[in-house]
Structure 1
Amino acid sequence: MSAFASAAVVWLLALVSIASATDFQKCKIGTPPLNTTLGNCDKYPCNLVRGTNISGGVDFVYAKDLTVLKPELTVFVSGLPLKWPINQKDGCASLTLNKCPIKAGTRARFEYSLFLGPRTPLVQPLIRFELKNARGETIICSEIPAKIIPKKKFQLKMFESSD
């Protein structure tokens, strides 16, 4: 195999491994993050158990300096957007990697948590996570398909035997 072919194979394998590590949908606006996590989800749709706390994070690099980060979570149910409150209003205070002001081209990680109420409807929403700048413009955005499941169903699956 030629050196060029070997390099092409290595590049392709690297590309595949990166793609599998960033399993989310890109938004039509903003820059996609490096990685997005939502609970313990490793495949979509993400099962979110109502009546529990859910945490997640977003790793990102942005091309411009950032002094303000405003997180926003929107769920789309049958195409209708609904704002979903998260516990963090100041995105800079919730950075676990880096701090504001964030210099252009440097990596940062924002972590968040929210409570999914026990009466949350059992639906399959698309969840859009956005970080906005001081002007309210979306700078980082990702979307994750989810499924709201009852607590009992989740608890039973955790204790089922795998014999």
Structure 2
Amino acid sequence: MVQMKFLLIAVCFLIPDVMGELAIQKCKSGVLPTKLIIDGCSQAPCAIANGHNLKFHAEFVAPHATRTLTAIVIARVAGFAIHYELPEEHRDGCKKLTNAKCPLAPNQRIEASGEVPVESPISNVMVNVEFQLHSDTAIAVCFRIDAKVVKG
């Protein structure tokens, strides 16, 4: 009986984590983050406010050694790929690392946090946003997420 109560309590604590996990999609290359938190979004499509910053926390394992990480964002709208030009201060992924500094070793566990500005010429549109972190030689980390750009 005590074991059954313990099991029920454990399930009650685990369900919100499983149900609230943000669904991310794999890219053609690069590893997926092991954990991703986007402020204000527990399931896709995420509502992202135009003209505001999108706050995030991500964890990943570096697939190979690198001295640099460069952030790139691609938005897909109605089948068209639009390369989003990040402001220069947001391109250096090494500056977003919270538990390490570049250079990175292969298989190193990495945590990153920060903000990314959202600037879209239109609002109330569904997009598939691809976030890439390029290493010295390849795409190291990449994921896609469905979102809706809303008026800020």
TM-score of the two chains, using structure 1 as the length reference: 0.72
Q: Is the 8 A contact 1:51 1:119 kept in 2?
A: no
Residue matched to 1:142:
143
TM-superposed CA distance for 1:88, in Å, is 1.5
Distance change >3 Å, CA 53–CA 18, structure 1 → 2? same
Residue aligning to 1:39: 39
For the 8 Å contact 2:63–2:106, the answer to whether it is kept is yes
- Do the aligned residues in 2 keep the contact of 1:27 with 1:141 (CA within 8 Å)? yes
Q: CA RMSD in A?
A: 2.3
CA distance in 1, matches of 2:65, 2:115: 25
- The one-letter code of the counterpart of 1:81 is A
Instruction: Please give the TM-score of this superposition, normalised by the length of structure 2.
Output: 0.76
Q: Which has the larger radius of gyration?
A: 1
Q: Does the alignment pair 1:107 with 2:112?
A: no
Within 5 A, what are the aligned runs for 1:87-102?
A: 87-102=89-104
The residue identity in structure 2 corresponding to 1:140 is: V
Among the aligned pairs, what percent are the same residue?
A: 24
2:123 maps to what in 1? Answer: 121
Once residues 59 and 32 of structure 1 are traced to their aligned partners in structure 2, the CA distance between those partners, rounded to angstroms, is 9
Deviations 1:99-153 (A, max 9, x none): 1111221211223423324753321000101110113x211111110001123xx
- Whether the 8 Å CA contact 1:22–1:35 is kept in 2: the answer is no
Q: SS in structure 2 opposite 1:93?
A: helix
**Offset of 1:22 from its aligned partner?**
5.7
* 3-state SS in 1 of match to 2:90: coil
Q: Secondary structure at 1:48's aligned position in 2?
A: strand
Measured against aligned partners, the alpha-carbon deviations of 1:65-114 in whole angstroms (never above 9, x if no partner) come to: 22111111111111211122334121112211211111221211223423
Give, in whole Å, the separation in 2 of the partners of 1:31 and 1:118: 27
Instruction: Spell out, residue by residue over 1:31-89, the C-alpha distance to the aligned partner (whole angstroms, 9 max, x if none).
Output: 11112233321011001122322122321102322211111111111121112233412
Give unmatched runs, 5+ long, in structure 2: 1-13
